[in-house]
Chains A and B, each alone.
Chain A
Amino acid sequence: GQQLNQSPQSMFIQEGEDVSMNCTSSSIFNTWLWYKQDPGEGPVLLIALYKAGELTSNGRLTAQFGITRKDSFLNISASIPSDVGIYFCAGPTRDLMTTDSWGKLQFGAGTQVVVTP
């Protein structure tokens, strides 16, 4: 099946630094989603991207939908301690065998971010 390759696996950064992570796929996606998961909680949607080339910001977060539709990037500027957590990219797969196929999300393995003071 389709796979999302997310990198890096983990990042140890100092407060105030910028963070960059990316997600690539061998297949085309029509939507890219970025989630954050705090320890002991479920993932929460940060940013949704719907068009190739789209650049969207949410506070200190900026995400881009790659032109090829096979990749996406998430940047966090001026990191703070509460940015710690796991960040996931996700996209809806398309199962040609069913009509209700777009609701199934394929997730990357996640990027663990640790912020030190």
Chain B
Amino acid sequence: DAGITQSPRHKVTETGTPVTLRCHQTENHRYMYWYRQDPGHGLRLIHYSYGVKDTDKGEVSDGYSVSRSKTEDFLLTLESATSSQTSVYFCAITQTGGPNTEAFFGQGTRLTVV
């Protein structure tokens, strides 16, 4: 199994509060991603990183920010959580950004915003 750890695994927070989710990898992979999973939508990319301090937006980036100060850690921050951000969040890693890319996923973080 790929060494990917997400924390926390579950969190309940109030609307308007900041929340940070952490993804930690031990594979030394260059690329890291944050997805959210909602019923009927599959997985949708929030942000991704292609190196330390190099990040870019995905298709559903509004309301989220990310940081990557070390190869092994990729943080996802909800500056002011809203109920629409209740979801299951998955971190993923890939070794390269090339066309034959295979992604490995963490176990997910279930976030509930009340």
Contact = CB atoms under 8 A, between A and B. Distances in A.
A43 B43 contact: yes
Interface in B69-114: 90, 92, 94, 96-108
B42 A45 contact: no
Nearest to B45: A104
B99 A41 contact: no
Contacts of A65: none
A99 B50 CA distance: 10
B39 to A, nearest CB: 9
Interface stretch (A52-60, A67-75, A105-113): A105-113
A95 to B, nearest CB: 9
A40 B74 CA distance: 21
B41 to A, nearest CB: 6
B44 interface: yes
Contacts of B94: 103
Nearest to A110: B42
A1 B97 contact: no
A107 B103 contact: no
Contact of A105 (B40, B100, B101): B101
A92 interface: yes
Nearest to B94: A103
B42 A109 contact: yes
Contact of B44 (A33, A40, A98, A107): A107
Interface string A83-113: 0000010101000001111111101111000
A20 interface: no
Given A43-B90, A103-B50, A105-B45, A31 B105 contact: no
B59 interface: yes
30 contacts: A1-B59, A4-B42, A31-B101, A40-B108, A42-B90, A42-B92, A42-B108, A43-B90, A44-B105, A45-B102, A45-B103, A48-B100, A88-B43, A90-B43, A92-B99, A92-B101, A100-B31, A100-B50, A100-B56, A101-B97, A102-B98, A102-B101, A103-B31, A103-B103, A104-B48, A104-B58, A105-B43, A105-B101, A105-B103, A110-B42
